[in-house]
Amino acid sequence: MSSAVNFPSLITKKRNKEELSRDDIEAFVNGIADESVQDSQIGAMLMAMYLNDLTMRETTDLTRAMMNSGETLSWPKEWKGELVDKHSTGGVGDKVSLVLAPALAACGLKVPMISGRGLEHTGGTLDKLESIPGFQVSVTTEKMLDIIKTVGCCIVGQTKKLCPADSKMYAIRDVTGTVDNLGLITGSIISKKAAEKIDALVLDVKFGIGAFLKDIDTARKLAKMMVGSGNGLGIKTVSLLTTMNSPLGKMVGNALEVAESIWTLQGNGPDDLVNLITELGGELLSVAGKATSSEEGRRRIMTTLTDGSALAKFCAMVKAQGVEAATADALCARDADVYSILPKAPATKDLLSPKSGYVTGIGAMACAVVAQKLGAGRSKAGEAIDYTVGLEFMVTVGDKVEEGKPWVKVHIKNDIPDNLRDQLEKALVIGSEAPASGTSRVHEVVSG
Ligand code: IUR
């Protein structure tokens, strides 16, 4: 069908600042999926969209067309209203998905979470989970259904059949300077979530020095667009704008973050992480109509972390995704030594505080770059990573520190190179007074 489409005229229309119709957008995206449109034409259209922006309606139509470019998931009718997911725009030490997916399953919801890998300074949920020996992220859609039936949640990788237009468009955006356009980002993120055929979605849109978006105004615009597009496709969508200036929790690095997730599932998580998990989960339960208010939703999520029910779901999910039962049980047991299961770095090195005072900042970006360079992340897609290395903070923003006392333990292969040590030392900011901010990272809620 799309062989009859005049692609140059669609590109010219958008270049001339005219609004594209739903049919125009569908014709173009179908052309990407069936390869009747050339790469040069895709690049030109993306640049026209980038320079002239997409309206809310165009964005929703683009998102729908991208979702329909491939397979979408389907679920038993009786699950209607129960299917939920969460997405984060990516931060440093962000292990929320590992805890929130099982917590939601423990609340009786179904969570078909499709996640990604880490690239450059951001870590990926799939990489973190793969540090558990035997964990499989490549799962067929039949197996996904099976796991959700028995456990309630799974965390898996994207198949090539899901949103193929997005993979193509992203690859071209990456080499044509058109990545950071809010409409295009919205289409990319929401189409993949919409292809999961969920009923409700919570978005964690981060802003700050360790986030993809540095300023709150741009983050708010993206949140509004994603909420609009999700709702436009019939998904009850809510977004939280959250700060990402210092690492989330106390661990940065793959196996280290799995360890911290398990402690959190055992009710012993750091305050900022627990707060963010309960805030996101509470809003999601409320928007999904499964709690009468976000406050009640927060309480229910919190209960799953303290009564062991989320931990039991995590353990069952890990088993269903390939980990031997004895290994999973040993990993999740109360008072377990998680490092008897998870891979551990051969060495550690403590960095000492240069003076006494209050921690007023721990630069998230510097921490992320150091962790990545130590081997926890990749600089290009497909590169191998070291699951064991990373950072373990002994202090958090607001804590008192004493001169000469350790503030971070660096998990390393052998030694920490001087340039990385310098970068990390500069990340610690010490002031004479405690900062005013509390533990919550939530700045505001954006709903439809
Ligand atoms: N993540 C996505 O899935 N899509 C995007 O465009 C960006 C991040 I930027």
Q: What is the pLDDT of residues 331-368, one digit of tens each?
A: 999 888 999 999 999 999 999 999 999 999 999 999 99
Q: Is 87 an active-site residue?
A: yes
Q: Report residue 379's pLDDT band, with 50, 70 and 90 as the boundaries.
A: confident
Mean pLDDT of the chain: 96
CA proximity to 32, closest of 229, 234, 184: 184
Q: What is the pLDDT of residues 394-413, one digit of tens each?
A: 999 999 999 999 999 999 99
Q: Report residue 448's pLDDT band, with 50, 70 and 90 as the boundaries.
A: confident
pLDDT at 121 over 80: no
For the chain, domains (ranges, CATH) are: 2-52 (1.20.970.10), 77-333 (3.40.1030.10), 347-431 (3.90.1170.30)
131 within 8 A of 122, measured Cβ to Cβ: no
Q: Report residue 142's pLDDT band, with 50, 70 and 90 as the boundaries.
A: very high
Question: How do 428-431 and 357-362 pair as beta strands?
Answer: antiparallel
Establish whether residue 185 lines the binding site of ligand 1, counting it when its CB lies within 6 angstroms of any ligand atom.
yes
Name the burial class of residue 327, with classes exposed (0-12), middle (13-18) and buried (19+) by CB atoms within 10 angstroms of its CB.
Answer: middle
Q: What is the pLDDT of residues 299-331, one digit of tens each?
A: 999 999 999 999 999 999 999 999 999 999 999
Q: What is the pLDDT of residues 23-50, one digit of tens each?
A: 999 999 999 999 999 999 999 999 999 9
pLDDT at 436 over 90: no
Establish whether residue 181 lines the binding site of ligand 1, counting it when its CB lies within 6 angstroms of any ligand atom.
no
Please give the average per-residue pLDDT across 141-145, as a whole number.
95
Q: Ligand 1: distance of its center to the CA of 183 in Å?
A: 11
pTM comes to 0.96
Q: What is the pLDDT of residues 87-99, one digit of tens each?
A: 999 999 999 999 9
Shortest-distance atom of ligand 1 to CA 179: 9
Establish whether residue 188 lines the binding site of ligand 1, counting it when its CB lies within 6 angstroms of any ligand atom.
yes
pLDDT at 107 over 50: yes
154 within 8 A of 320, measured Cβ to Cβ: yes
pLDDT given for residue 3 in this prediction: 53
195 within 8 A of 162, measured Cβ to Cβ: yes
Q: Is 173 an active-site residue?
A: yes
Shortest-distance atom of ligand 1 to CA 189: 3
pLDDT at 1 over 70: no
Please give the average per-residue pLDDT across 114-140, as a whole number.
91
pLDDT given for residue 123 in this prediction: 79
Q: Whose CA is nearest to atom 9 of ligand 1?
A: 185
Q: Cα Rg for the chain, rounded, in angstroms?
A: 22
Q: Report residue 372's pLDDT band, with 50, 70 and 90 as the boundaries.
A: very high
Question: How do 428-431 and 400-401 pair as beta strands?
Answer: unpaired
Q: Ligand 1: distance of its center to the CA of 276 in Å?
A: 22
Q: What is the pLDDT of residues 167-191, one digit of tens each?
A: 999 999 999 999 999 999 999 999 9
Establish whether residue 189 lines the binding site of ligand 1, counting it when its CB lies within 6 angstroms of any ligand atom.
yes
In this structure, what are the phi and psi dihedrals at residue 236, rounded to the nearest 5 degrees? -70, 110
% of the chain exceeding 90 in pLDDT: 93
pLDDT given for residue 2 in this prediction: 43
